[in-house]
Amino acid sequence: MQTMERRPVVPVHPRSRRPAPWPVEFYRSAVGKKWVMAVTGILLMGYVFAHMVGNLKVYLGAEDINHYGEFLRELFVPIVPRTVTLWVMRVGLALAFAFHIHAAASLTLMNRRAHAEGGYISRRDWQAANAASRSMRWTGVVIGLFVLWHLADLTWGTVNPDFVRGDVYRNMVASFERPAVSAIYIVANVALGIHLFHGAWSMFQSLGLNNPRWNSWRRGFAAGFAGIVMVGNLSFPIAVLTGVVSADDNPDCTVSGGTIDTCELYQEAAR
């Protein structure tokens, strides 16, 4: 007598994956990632523009730029403790930066998979998109590495031998008077200008605002915004290298032989 083997029972309706909350499901889609890239891009564009405009105070002298630095630490005091608002802004920018990078990398992988699977994108369109994404990818890498250097140089002071907490003016001069460091800033800000131009142009398309009638306006905005930020940022190392901005114009610190001896006023304010 033959024994009958039991076969595993396959459900007629296999259990589907439990849906995630709407924001997560939206972000998993290509449209969601494009929106996240656009929104975080707007936040980061606003930051780099405001950062550049604030740093223009260096041309007004040490007192103005140092007072501006102290103003940022005192935002919303006494409602919140000193520097809390500044750190909240920094954390928000770090999150925007992280989401921007993750969305960009995810979209690149999705585009590659669609192309490998024989999607409907024509070869010419794919080559154009790939060239643009390559430019954004490499300038993005340069900007990411530069942000780490910039923090170590002018925020933490670990790579700036003459760094003094609170003396923004002297720290900028101490950094940019080194030609190699100025070269890093110049190259990074050229990459930032290229990235801003492509990003500002594609941002409208990501948000669905890509009417051909607006293309000339979009291009003008992208070129103008990127150009203003790049020229403003490039002016700082060039001004220090050419002597337009120098340590001799800083009355708040005692400098001997190019080395800071004392800077009591802003050391005390920075604590």
Q: Residues of the chain whose pLDDT is less than 50?
A: 1, 12, 122, 124-129, 255-262, 265-271
User: The pTM is what?
Assistant: 0.79
| b/e sequence 54-69, b meaning 16+ C-beta within 10 Å | ebebbeebbeebbebb
Q: How far apart are CA 206 and CA 203, in angstroms?
A: 5
C-alpha distances in Å from residue 172, one per residue of 45, 104, 155, 161: 22, 32, 11, 12
pLDDT of residue 132: 54
Q: What does the pLDDT read at residue 118?
A: 59
State the pLDDT at residue 125: 46
Distance CA 240, CA 232 (A): 13
C-alpha span between 77 and 82 (Å, rounded): 6
Q: What is the reported pLDDT for 111?
A: 76
**Amino acid at residue number 14:** P
pLDDT tens by residue, 82-96? 999 999 999 999 999
CA dist 112 and 102 (Å) reads 15
* Cβ atoms within 10 Å, residue 252: 19
DSSP state of 21: P
Rg of the chain on CA atoms, in Å? 25
Classify 63 as helix, strand or coil: helix
The reported pLDDT for the residue numbered 257 is: 45
* Selection from 189, 166, 174 nearest residue 271 by Cα: 166
